[in-house]
Amino acid sequence: MIKNEYPGKFIVVEGLDGSGKSSQVDLLVNFLKDNGKDVILTKEPTTDSDAGRTIKQALKGEIKIDPLELQKLYVQDRKEHLDNKVLPALQQGKFVVSSRYAFSTFAYGSADGLDINELIKMNEDFLLPDATIIVDVLPEHCIQRIESRGEPKELFEQEQKLAKVSEVYKRLPEMFKNVSIVNGEKSIPEVFEEIKKLIEKIK
């Protein structure tokens, strides 16, 4: 992946469904704004592209898509996301915080039986974030949180599948620069304290 040479900073928060990612993203955005940063909040998949909208349908089980075709859609959506939103903001010196990015493709795609090296190759021309934070929570705890919401489960929201995703996430800090894992089993403020320490290094 390509190093960020723009004046802005690109931060990604990753984790299993039900890991508390969204809470940490909100805290991070507020923290950066309080520190005088101009912040853009975004997420993947987007709802801005045809590919992103098709992905949403697949995740909800409304349509069935082959695992490789699904990840190709993620790559297409990601390219549009970068070109239209992320890169222009970074060029202007803004901080971009994204909930999910290419690392979700590596983790979820390989849990779906695809070759991780092939998935990495599909994303090699994309920007490497200045910081990627993986919120690590046990798959069984994630499932409990998802079930407590009372919403229908999406495609990957099964414990066995999330366990495979978690295994891949744990390998990513060895494979890519700027990737860190934080213990998501702690309280929300404690998790954010860990994240703050990582962000202090780049802001």
Question: Tens digits of per-residue pLDDT, 6-37?
Answer: 999 999 999 998 999 999 999 999 999 999 99
Q: How does residue 111 score in pLDDT terms, banded at 50, 70 and 90?
A: very high
- Supply the range of the domain harboring residue 141: 9-200
Least confident of 15-24, 140-149, 175-184: 140-149
Question: What H or E segment, with its residue span, contains residue 134?
Answer: strand 131-136
Output the domain CATH number for residue 89. Answer: 3.40.50.300
- Residue 197 is assigned to a ligand binding site: no
- Residue 125 is assigned to a ligand binding site: no
Confirm whether 107 is domain-assigned: yes
- Residue 16 is assigned to a ligand binding site: yes
- Residue 3 is assigned to a ligand binding site: no
For residue 117, with 0-12 CB atoms within 10 Å meaning exposed, 13-18 middle and 19 or more buried, which class applies? exposed
- Residue 49 is assigned to a ligand binding site: no
The pLDDT value recorded for residue 47 is: 92
Confirm whether 1 is domain-assigned: no
Confirm whether 2 is domain-assigned: no
Confirm whether 172 is domain-assigned: yes
User: Percent of the chain beyond pLDDT 70?
Assistant: 96
- Residue 153 is assigned to a ligand binding site: no
- Residue 110 is assigned to a ligand binding site: no
- Residue 28 is assigned to a ligand binding site: no
The pLDDT value recorded for residue 156 is: 57
Confirm whether 168 is domain-assigned: yes
